[in-house]
Copies of this chain bind each other. A is one copy, B any other.
Amino acid sequence: MLDDRKLAVLRAIVEDYVSTNEPVGSKALAERHNLKVSPATVRNDMAALEEEGYITQPHTSAGRVPTDKGYRLFVDRLSQVKPLSAAERRAIETFLAGAVDLDDVVTRTVRLLAQLTRQVAVVQYPALARSTVRHVELVHLSDRRVMLVVITNTGRVEQRVVELPEIVDDQRIAHLRAVLNATLDGCGLAAVPDLVADLPERLAAEDRPAAATILSVLLETLVERHDEKIVFAGAANLAGADFTTGLRDVLEALEEQVVLMRLLGETSDIPAALTVRIGAENPYLHGTSIVATGYGSGDRQLARLGVLGPTRMDYPVTMGAVRAVARYVSQILAAS
């Protein structure tokens, strides 16, 4: 059905259209890519490709433009991820290495990715659920106030001020701290609820009210923050591009955590592989494409990152950048 030459034609159409943003015609195509056939032949192939739904023409007597299906085929079979240049890789490495804490890592990553791809970059914070507790700290602020700090192995720090039901002295706080750390140290966040369930019973009666309050806040923190934070950068790159869905919709989606979440990929599974969603394949935001991947050390995927751009996008280059950045971030996080 689709012989090699037809595929070559499709590839040429995608490449030309991406670089020129104009419907590409048979003549220009036959010239620019040395296909060694005449425009007429190309026209026949184009007719076939259009028949199959890989390309379309905006109006009669205009050139052809790839459809979502056409881009899909291009990405799956006609292109390969383009690696970054050595200079770019060095730049990424040094830029990311300068980060001082998790916030900084994420901020730098998202900016870097935006600049590299000239698209909107989106980065999800490392998932709490997959982290483990490194330390729990209780800080006595005043008679009835305690600050609860949870530090995870990914460097993430969650803190809350807890208002206690009664006055508690330093000694009890110290005791609670010790118990909490003994119970939770090193365990996965997902396991925390189970582990602390029977904790109050194991304490002296006088400790229970304070402990119950603290534990409820602790659980609340972990659960509430389960809907992970997502940040983006490079919105300015949207200014030039033209989206079938309005620019306004895209900007709104970017500020809506939930939508961003869906766009990056469902949270239940975080596949390490590079995934590409093209046009209508996206939930909520048709007319845009998303190139995303998981990051994290090896088998332990922490979260996802990627870029969002118009369907007419240079997929090989974008995929290369996303993959490279994900790798370097993973390294940084694993090292710290």
Contact partners of A336 in chain B: CB under 8 A: 161
Task: Report Cα–Cα, A236/B252, bound state, in Å.
Answer: 5
Check A147 against B151 for contact (C-beta < 8 Å).
yes
Residue on B with the closest CB to A220?
B100
Complex interface: chain B residues within 8 A of A147 (CB) = 135, 151, 157
Q: Measured between alpha carbons, how far is A100 from B239 in the docked complex, in Å?
A: 35
Add 4 more A-B contacts to A235-B235, A239-B248 (CB < 8 A): A147-B151, A155-B161, A238-B251, A240-B248
In contact, B155 and A157 (Cβ under 8 angstroms): no
Contact of A254 among B134, B235, B246 (CB under 8 A): B235
Residues in B with CB closer than 8 Å to A246 are 239
Question: By DSSP majority rule, is chain A's interface helix, strand, loop, or mixed?
Answer: mixed
Could you list 21 examples of A-B contacts with CB < 8 Å? A101-B161, A135-B139, A135-B141, A135-B147, A137-B149, A139-B149, A139-B151, A141-B151, A149-B159, A157-B157, A161-B336, A233-B255, A235-B251, A235-B255, A236-B249, A236-B252, A238-B251, A239-B246, A239-B247, A239-B248, A239-B251
Closest to A140 in B: B135
For A236, the chain B residues whose CB sits under 8 A away are 248-249, 251-252, 255
Residue of B nearest to A233 (CB): B255
Complex CA distance for A137 and B252, rounded to whole angstroms = 40
Query: What residue in chain B is nearest A149 (Cβ atoms)?
Result: B149
For window 90-124 of chain A, which residues contact chain B by CB distance below 8 Å? 100-101
The CB with the most chain B CB atoms within 10 A, among A161, A252, A336, is that of: A161
Shortest Cβ-Cβ A-B pairs, 7 listed:
A239-B248, A236-B251, A236-B252, A235-B251, A239-B247, A137-B139, A157-B159
Copies of this polypeptide in the complex: 2
User: For the complex, what is the distance from the CA of A175 to the CA of B26, rounded to whole Å?
Assistant: 79
Q: Taking the nearest CB of chain B, how far is it from the CB of A43, in angstroms?
A: 39
Closest chain B residue, CB of each to CB of A111 = B255
The distance from the CB of A305 to the nearest CB of chain B, in whole angstroms, is 17
Q: Is A160 an interface residue (CB 8 A)?
A: yes
Contacting residues of chain A (207-228) with chain B, CB-CB under 8 angstroms: 224
* B residues in contact with A151, CB < 8 Å: 139, 141, 147
A147 to chain B, nearest CB (A): 6
Q: Does A234 contact B (CB under 8 A)?
A: yes
